[in-house]
Amino acid sequence: MVDCLKVYYLEISAPKLQSLILFGNLNFMFRFIDISSLVDAFLSSIGRETYGNCTMFLPDLAHVKILSFALSYVAEFEEPEENEAEFTIPLPNLQELQMLVDVMSEENISQIYRFFHIYPSPFLEKLLIRLPGYLEDPTGTEYIPTALNQPTNVVFDHLKEIKLSNFRGCILEMRLVKFLLEKAITLERLVLIAPPMELNEGIKSDQVGLSLQSKFSERIGLRIIRGQLSTLPKASLNVSIVVQEFFEDDMSLNPVHREVYCEQSFSSIQKMFEPSFEEFVSAQSEFL
């Protein structure tokens, strides 16, 4: 279902249905009578005027093996006031999880923490997080770090692979990486892919030097980020951390739903320039 704006009530009885894609403004009543064979689900409203709330779907999707959703889709959910610590909805079959993050903020990082607390996934093997294609405050000059409450009960016992795309190494991104490294006790590979550099066609000769300088700054930035990552505490002693530029990504670690969403709508706000990695990592010593 894509942008079904006039749908007010959805009822599905499809015992042989294996794949479910819901995209667009999904503020409607629903009832899943039988989706017992469902294997994978994709939920997103990125790029639309209003967001739905994917948490209303999750109890009925708790048996899926592959799940992708936009983080803005859970922005409204809260734990019940009573028995907050005991309130969980396990996802016992989940093996692959993809999160699409449209805005990088403390609130969204907290939502990621809260998701793993409320929806424990004991057999999760692959986690893919697509970070936003832009940052509101790319250099971090306006950001004042504050303490974020991390769930103490979250442990990834079977998580083997993690991939973060559009990774720049800003403070919030490094906080997220630190959290994942501390919780994934059997992690084998962490892959961080930088965002693509968009160069305008017909670049003038006097701009070639600036382009080369930007690429040099990115290489320096990647080197600094690798150094910072090497100092982070890790629950897994055998984890391999790979930091690559966009064109170096061999696509060996990709989500099942890679081709489902529209990258153009995902990056809904276009920026006139792409800051260098050197700017992103200049103030990273404060994030710990």
Condensed to tens digits (0 to 9), the pLDDT of residues 26-46 reads 666 778 899 999 999 998 766
pLDDT band at 209 (very low <50, low <70, confident <90, very high): very low
Rounded distance between C-alpha atoms, residue 57 and residue 77, angstroms: 12
Of 13-17, 97-101, 213-217, the least confident = 213-217
Write down the pLDDT at residue 265: 42
Residue 170, pLDDT above cutoff 60: yes
Rounded distance between C-alpha atoms, residue 38 and residue 61, angstroms: 8
Average pLDDT over residues 169-182: 94
Q: Is 277 helix (H, G, I), strand (E, B) or coil?
A: helix
Which tokens in the block code for residue 79? Answer: 């734990």
Report angle CA 140, 248, 185 to the nearest 5 degrees: 70
pLDDT band at 212 (very low <50, low <70, confident <90, very high): very low
Q: DSSP letters along 106-157, please? A: HHHHHHHHHHHHHS--TT--EEEEE--SS-SSTT-TT------PPPTT--BS
Write down the pLDDT at residue 262: 46
Rounded distance between C-alpha atoms, residue 148 and residue 173, angstroms: 13
Alpha helices in the chain (DSSP H): 106-118, 171-183, 208-230, 263-266, 277-280
More confident residue, 137 or 117: 117
Average pLDDT over residues 21-26: 75
Q: Is 238 helix (H, G, I), strand (E, B) or coil?
A: coil
More confident residue, 147 or 32: 32
Q: Which helix (H) or strand (E) holds 192?
A: strand 189-193
Query: pTM value?
Result: 0.79
Write down the pLDDT at residue 25: 67
Write down the pLDDT at residue 131: 93
Q: Is 57 helix (H, G, I), strand (E, B) or coil?
A: coil
Average pLDDT over residues 225-245: 92
Residue 181, pLDDT above cutoff 80: yes
